[in-house]
Structure 1
Amino acid sequence: MKATFKIHYDTQFGQQLCIVGSLPALGKGNDNEAVEMAYLGGGIWIAEVDLSKTRAKSFTYNYILKDKSNGIKYKEAGAPRVVSLDSKKYKKLAFQDAWNPFHETENAFDTAAFDVILQTKAPKVKAPKLSAKDGDFSFNVNVPRINPDYVVKVVGSTKELGEWDINAALPMAYDEENDLWSVTTSIKKSHHKLKYKYVLVSTKDKSLVELEGGFDHMYDIQENDPTLLVKFSDHRFEYNKQNWRGMGVALPVFSLRSEQGLGVGEFLDIKGLVDWSKETGMRLVQILPVNDTMATYTWVDSYPYASVSVYALHPLYINLEAVGSLKDKKKMTKLNTLKQKLNALDTVDYEAVMNAKMDYLKEIWSEKKASFLKGAKVKAFLKEQNDWLLPYAAFCYLRDKYKTPDFTKFEDFATYDARKVNKLFAAASKVKDDVNFYVFVQYHLHAQLLEASEYAQSQNVVLKGDIPIGIYRFSADAWTAPHLYNMNGQAGAPPDDFAVNGQNWGFPTYDWETMKKDDYGWWKSRMTHLSQYFQTFRIDHILGFFRIWEIPIDSVQGLLGQFRPALPLHVSELENRGVGFDFDRFCKPYIREHFLGQMFGDDTDAVKHEYFDQKWDGAYNFKKKFDSQVKIQAHFAKLLAKKDADVARLEAIRESLYSLHNEVLLIPALGYTDGLHYAPRVTMDKSRTFNELDAGAKYHFWELYVDYFFKRQEDLWSAQAMEKLPAIKEATNMLICGEDLGMVPDCVPGIMTELEILSLEIQRMPKDPTISFGHPGNYPYESVASPSSHDMSTVRGWWTEDREETQRFYNEILGNWGEAPQDCEPWIAEQILQQHLYADSMWTIFPLQDLLAIDGEVRRESAEDERINIPAIKHHYWRYRMHLSCEELMKLKSFNSKLNGLITASGRNSSY
Structure 2
Amino acid sequence: MILRFTLPFRTAWGQRLVVCGSLPSLGHWNLHQALNLHYLPEHGLWTQEISLPDDQLDPVEYKYVLLDEGDGGQHWEWGPNRTISPDANRFTRIVLEDFWRAPALPENELHTAAFTKALMRRPAPAAPAPAPASATNGVVRFQLSAPRVDSNHQLCVLGSDPALGSWDAGKAVVLTDADYPTWRAEVALAHPEQTAQYKYGVWDPAEQKIIHLEAGEDRLIYPDANQRTLRVKADDHFRYPTGNWRGAGVALPVFALRSRRGLGVGEFPDLKLLVDWAVATGLKLVQVLPINDTVATHTWVDSYPYAAISVFALHPQYLNLDAVAELRDAAARQELAQLREELNARDFVDYEPVMNAKWKFIRQLYQQEKAAFLADPAFQQFRQEQQAWLLPYAAFSGLRDRFGTADFSQWPEEYRTPAKVAELLREDSPAFDEFGLHLFTQFHLDKQLLEAVEYARQRGVVVKGDLPIGIYRHSVDAWTQPELYHMHQQAGAPPDDFSVTGQNWRFPTYNWERMAEDGYQWWQQRMGHLARYFDALRIDHILGFFRIWEIPGHSVEGLLGHFSPALPLHQHEIEQRIGWFDYGRLCEPYIRWHIVQEIFHGQAQPVFDEFMEANEHGVIRLQEHVRTQRQVEAVISEKIRQDPANTDHYTWLRTGLYKLINEVLLVPDDQRADFYHPRITLHLSRSFRELDDHTRTRLHELYIDFFYRRHEDFWRRQGLIKLPAVRWATDMLICGEDLGMVPESVPGVMKALGILGLNIQRMPSDPSVEFGDPARAPYLSVVSPGSHDMSTVRGWWEEDREKTQRFFEQLLGHWGQQAPLHCEPWVAREIVAQHLASPAMWAIFPLQDLLALHEQLRRSDSAEEQINVPANPTHFWKYRLHLNLEELLQQIEFNQDISSLVTTSNRVQVY
TMscore range, shorter length:
over 0.9
In 2: Cα distance, 1:389 partner to 1:591 partner: 52
Aligned residue among 755, 758, 762 for 2:756: 758
3-state SS of 2:557 partner: coil
Contact 2:577 2:698 in 1 (8 A): yes
Deviation at 1:120, TM superposition (A): 3.4
How far residue 825 of structure 1 moved from its aligned partner, in angstroms, is 0.4
Cα distance 1:757–1:703, how it changes in 2: closer, same or farther (>3 A)?
Answer: same
Hey, what does 2:212 align to over in structure 1?
A: 210
| Structure 1 residue 236, shift from structure 2 partner | 2.1
Q: 1:167 aligns with which of 138, 161, 170?
A: 170
> How far apart are 1:703 and its partner, in Å?
1.1
Q: How big is the shift at 1:306? A: 0.1
1:859 paired with 2:861, answer no
Q: 5 Å matches for 1:738-887? A: 738-817=736-815, 818-887=817-886
What is the distance in 1 between the residues matched to 2:192 and 2:252? 61
Aligned counterpart, 1:424: 424
In structure 2, give the amino acid aligned to 1:812.
Q
Q: Pick which of 25-34 and 507-516 moved more.
A: 25-34
1:491 matched to which residue of 2? Answer: 491
Counterpart-to-counterpart distance in 2, 1:134 and 1:330: 78
Structure 1 residue aligned with 2:720? 722
CA distance in 2, matches of 1:132, 1:346: 71
- Normalised to the residue count of structure 2, the TM-score between the two structures is 0.97
Q: Say whether the 8 Å CA contact 1:456–1:463 is kept in structure 2.
A: yes
Look up the match of 2:357: 356
- 2-side partners of 1:755 and 1:43: how far apart? 28
Residue 541 of structure 2 corresponds to residue 541 of structure 1: yes
The CA deviation at 1:643 is: 4.3
Return the offset for 1:130.
Answer: 5.7
Report how far residue 719 of structure 1 moved: 1.0
Name 1:454's counterpart in structure 2. Answer: 454
- Match status 1:198 vs 2:197: no
Equivalent position amino acid for 1:36 in 2: N
Question: Secondary structure in 1 aligned to 2:688?
Answer: helix
* Distance apart, 1:308 and its partner CA: 0.2
Q: Does 1:689 align with 2:679?
A: no
Residues 49-86 of structure 1, C-alpha deviations (whole Å, 9 max, x = no match): 22246523421211112233444322222221221111
| Residue 131 (structure 1) shift | 6.6
- Aligned-pair CA distance for 1:39: 2.2
> 1:669-688 alignment to 2 at 5 Å?
669-672=669-672, 674-675=673-674, 677-688=675-686
Q: Which residue of 1 aligns with 2:141?
A: 138
1:254 aligns to 2:255 (yes or no): yes
Q: Which moved more, 1:55-64 or 1:829-838?
A: 55-64
Aligned to 1:518: 518
Spell out the pairing of 1:462-611 with structure 2 (5 A cutoff): 462-577=462-577, 579-611=579-611
Return closer, same or farther for 1:35/1:891 CA change in 2, 3 Å cut-off.
same
Shift of 1:430: 2.4
1:457-497 alpha-carbon deviations (Å, 9 max, x no partner): 11111111001000000100000000000011000001101
Query: What code does the residue aligned with 1:837 have?
Result: L
State how far apart, in whole Å, the 2-side matches of 1:578 and 1:543 are.
30
Amino acid at match of 1:541: H
1:598: how far off?
1.4
2:266 corresponds in structure 1 to 265
Larger mean Cα displacement after TM superposition, 193-202 or 477-486 = 193-202
How far is 1:259 from its partner? 1.5
1:549 and 1:574 map into 2 onto residues whose CA distance is 22
How far 1:545 moved relative to its partner? 0.4
Aligned to 1:181: 183
Q: 1:615 to 1:158 in 2, by over 3 A?
A: farther
Amino acid at match of 1:371: A
1:836-888 deviations in Å (ceiling 9; x for gaps): 11111111110010000001011111101101000001121000111100000
CA 1:361–1:352: 2 relative to 1, 3 Å: same
Deviation readout 1:690-726 (Å, 9 max, x if unpaired): 1111111111111111111111111111111111111
Greater shift, 712-721 or 112-121, is seen at 112-121
CA contact (8 A) 2:577 2:699 kept: no
Tell me if structure 2 keeps the 8 A contact 1:594–1:618: no
Q: Let me know the Cα RMSD of the aligned residues.
A: 1.6
Matches within 5 A, 1:641-656: 641-656=641-656
Structure 1: state its 5+ residue gaps.
none
1:156 aligns with 2:155: no
Q: Using the alignment, how far apart are the partners of 1:199 and 1:576 within structure 2?
A: 67
Contact 1:188 1:224 (C-alpha < 8 Å) held by counterparts? no
Task: Give, in whole Å, the separation in 1 of the partners of 2:293 and 2:767.
Answer: 37
SS of 1:163's equivalent in the other structure is coil
Following superposition, the deviation at residue 762 of structure 1 comes to 0.4
Tell me the residue number matched to 1:238.
Answer: 239
Q: Give the Cα–Cα distance (whole angstroms) in 1 for the partners of residues 358 and 192 of structure 2.
A: 76
**What is the identity, as a one-letter code, of the residue corresponding to 1:161?**
L
Deviates more, 1:288-297 or 1:813-822: 813-822
Q: What is the aligned residue count?
A: 907
Q: For 1:589, what is the secondary structure of its paired residue?
A: coil
Aligned partner of 1:736 in structure 2 is: 734
Distance 1:120 1:330 in 2: 47
- How big is the shift at 1:22? 1.5
Gaps of 5+ in 2: none
Shift of residue 87, structure 1, vs aligned partner: 1.5
- How many angstroms apart in 2 are the aligned matches of 1:351 and 1:709? 43
Equivalent position amino acid for 2:119 in 1 = I
Tell me, yes or no, if the aligned pair for 1:524 and 1:731 is still in contact at 8 Å. yes
The superposition leaves residues 774-818 of structure 1 with CA deviations (integer Å, 9 ceiling, x where unpaired) of 011111111111000000000000011001100000111011141
SS in 2 for 1:373: helix
Deviation at 1:663, TM superposition (A): 0.8
Q: Do structure 1's residue 385 and structure 2's residue 383 form an aligned pair?
A: no
Q: What percentage of aligned pairs have identical amino acids?
A: 46
Counterpart Cα distance in 2 of 1:435 and 1:144: 44
Kept in 2, the 8 Å contact 1:130–1:186? The answer is no
Amino acid in structure 2 at the alignment position of 1:830? R
Please say if residues 134 and 188 of structure 1, whose CA atoms lie closer than 8 Å, have aligned partners that are also in contact: no
Q: Is the 8 A contact 1:639 1:645 kept in 2?
A: no
AA aligned to 1:118 is: M
Q: What TM-score results when the alignment is normalised by the length of structure 1? A: 0.97
Distance in 2 separating the partners of 1:797 and 1:790:
12
More divergent stretch after superposition (443-452 vs 13-22): 13-22
The 3 A distance-change label for structure 1 pair 802 and 578 is closer
CA distance in 2, matches of 1:428, 1:371: 16
Which one-letter code corresponds to 1:771 in the other structure?
Answer: V
1:185 partner amino acid:
V
Q: Does the C-alpha gap of structure 1 residues 145 and 132 become closer, same or farther in structure 2, counting only changes over 3 Å?
A: closer
| Mapping 1:703-718, distance limit 5 Å | 703-718=701-716
8 Å CA contact retained: 1:189, 1:224: no
CA drift of 1:428 comes to: 4.2
Equivalent residues of 1:18, 1:37 under 8 A apart? yes
Alignment of 1:326-345 (within 5 A): 326-345=327-346
Q: Aligned residue for 1:898?
A: 897
Alignment CA distance shift 1:140-1:872 (3 Å): same
Q: Distance in 1 between matches of 2:681 and 2:63?
A: 49
CA contact (8 A) 1:307 1:472 kept: yes
The CA distance in 2 between the partners of 1:45 and 1:487, in whole Å, is 53
Does 2:12 match 1:12? yes
Question: Using a 3 Å threshold, how does the CA distance of structure 1 residues 108 and 150 change in structure 2: closer, same or farther?
Answer: same
